[in-house]
Structure 1
Amino acid sequence: MVLIIVVAVLALLAGLAANRYLRPRLMSEDDDTGMAVKDLVGPLLTLTVLLLAFVLVTANGSYGKAEVASRGEARAVDQLVESAEYAPDAQRGKIQADAVCYARAVREREWSAMADGKGSSAPSVWSTDLRRVFREVEGKPVFGMLVSADHKRSDEREERLTQATASIPGVILWFLLATLVITVAALGVCLPRRNNRGQIITLTVITALLTSTLCIIRDVDRPFGGIIDVEPTAMTEVQRQATRDFLAHHKAAELPCDDKGDRRSS
């Protein structure tokens, strides 16, 4: 994002410098003439609308799917905890404990890793434990409920991790940046050399608008690592409820993980 801003500013300065030193050699008309403010806004309005439309598509795509997957995963974990109430006492405590630890690992370990488009192995430790406990209740009515909820959890987690990676190829982002540079530099050349305060202000505003749009595109395409990011709100609430259910029959010291979802040492 910093690179985008720096390149855009350099393009604006290059355009203004070309207007000052290069334009007199290329054009013979009066220096007070040139592209008016309304002429600047016209062609760039189309480009701005296209970029904003691209942002909306991206926002409704990668960001929206990431948020839906995060909430769906949290609901699946909550369903696991609720279904565990129908399991025998020994398995109920293990399932609820694993659910608490899984939620902690997702919130504390995997969420920060997704900012770089990566996952974490910490939640997989507890999902493996869950399946091990499921085998202990195989054949009982609760088994199907638990397996169904766990499949849903696994699918939603996979979708969440998929959306954590950038969906816009880098070449497209560089193409948009090159388009911004060429547009701003060309418009800077067309500015009049004198009595041009209004045009310069307008060009600066347009440059800021296009740069902001491009930054938003990059930010929204990374729903877990930007300014506009998906927070683990749903998983945090599920963790709180699962912890409450576990503590209703057990002590906090019986949880097999620490506050960050890592397995306690023996």
Structure 2
Amino acid sequence: MWLVIVVAVIALLAGLAANRWLRPRLLSEDDGTGMAVKDMVGPLLTMTVLLLSFVLVTANSSYGKAEVASRGEARALDQLVESAEYAPAVQRARIQAGAVCYARAVREQEWPAMSDGHGSPAPSVWSADFRQTFHSLQGTPVFGMLVAADNKRSDERDERLTQASASIPSAIFYFLLATLVITVMALGICLPRKNNRGQLITLTVITALLTTMLVIIRDVDRPFGGIINVEPTAITEVERQATRDFLAHHPTTPLPCDAKGNRVAA
């Protein structure tokens, strides 16, 4: 984010400096000499806005998919907990306890790791424990329900981790940054050299708007880190409900994990 702001400010200052030193050499008021630089600034600004808008839509789509996947994973985990109510007592306790620990591992370990586009192995410990428990339930009516819910949870987690990575390649982002620099400098060159207070204010506002759009693109493209991010609200609520259900059936039995979802010795 700071890189975008710093580069945009430098571009603005460079444009104003070019207005003072280069404008007399680059611009001509004689229409017979061909297209002047100021005649090309309008199309350049239009192209910049269109590029930024297109990429913003792409980044916002990735953000939306990340949010949907996070909620879908939480719903699948909640369904897993509810389906476990139909399992024998031993398996029910293990599945519900594992759901609590899985949710804690996602919230406390995987969510912070996703801000850098990475996952965490901590939740996989409990998803493997789910499958191990399912083996002892083969042939029972609840087996299909549990497997279906766990498969849904796994698919949604995979989608969440996929969307944690930037969907816009770095080359495209830096191309947009270069386009912003060229646009701002070109606008700066074309400002009148005298009585230009209104134009200076307008150029500053345009620079701020383009910079803000690029910063938003950078932030939204990383949906689990930054200012605009997907919070683990849904998985936290499922953790709370799963904890309640587990304690309702086993009030004296401790959970097999700590507050961060790490397995503890029995």
Give TM-score, length-normalised by structure 2: 0.92
Q: Normalising by structure 1, report the TM-score.
A: 0.92
1:47 maps to amino acid: T
- Counting only pairs closer than 5 Å after superposition, residues 108-147 of structure 1 correspond to structure 2 as 108-147=108-147
Q: Deviations over 1:179-199 (max 9, x none)?
A: 000111111111111101111
Cα-to-partner distance string for 1:128-149 (whole Å, 9 max, x where unaligned)? 1111111111111111111111
**Taking structure 1 as reference, are residues 154 and 23 closer, same or farther at Cα in structure 2, changes over 3 Å only?**
same
How far apart are 1:47 and its partner, in Å? 3.1
SS in 1 for 2:107: helix
Residue in 2 aligned with 1:249? 249
Identify the residue that residue 103 of structure 2 maps to in structure 1.
103
CA RMSD of aligned residues (A): 2.2
Q: CA deviation at 1:206?
A: 0.4
Q: State the distance in 1 between where 2:205 and 2:111 align.
A: 36
Matched, 1:159 2:145: no
Answer yes or no: is 1:224 the counterpart of 2:224.
yes
Q: 20-29 or 208-217: which moved more?
A: 20-29
| Aligned equivalents of 2:167, 2:57: Cα separation in 1 | 14
2:173: which partner in 1?
Answer: 173
Distance 1:66 1:28 in 2: 52
**CA 1:237 to 1:146, structure 2 compared with 1: closer, same or farther past 3 Å?**
same
How far apart are residue 253 of structure 1 and its match?
A: 5.2
Query: What is the distance in 1 between the residues matched to 2:56 and 2:141?
Result: 48
Question: Is 1:47 equivalent to 2:36 in the alignment?
Answer: no
Quick check: 2:41–2:186 contact (8 Å CA) kept in 1? no
Any gaps of 5 or more consecutive residues in structure 2? Answer: 30-35
Q: C-alpha distance in 2, partners of 1:248/1:179? A: 60
In the other structure, the counterpart of 1:189 is 189
Shift of 1:228: 1.0
- Residue 52 of structure 1 aligns with an amino acid whose one-letter code is S
**1:35–1:192 CA contact under 8 A, matched in 2:** no
CA deviation after TM superposition for structure 1 residue 24, in Å: 3.1
Q: Distance in 1 between matches of 2:151 and 2:260?
A: 24
Residues 134 and 146, structure 1, Cα contact 8 Å, conserved in 2: yes
In the TM superposition, residue 8 of structure 1 has moved relative to its aligned partner by 0.6
For 1:168, the aligned partner's letter is I
Which amino acid in the other structure matches residue 13 of structure 1? L
CA, structure 1 residues 27+84, in 2 after alignment: closer, same or farther (shift >3 Å)? closer
Indicate the larger mover: 153-162 or 220-229.
220-229
Tell me the percent identity. 71
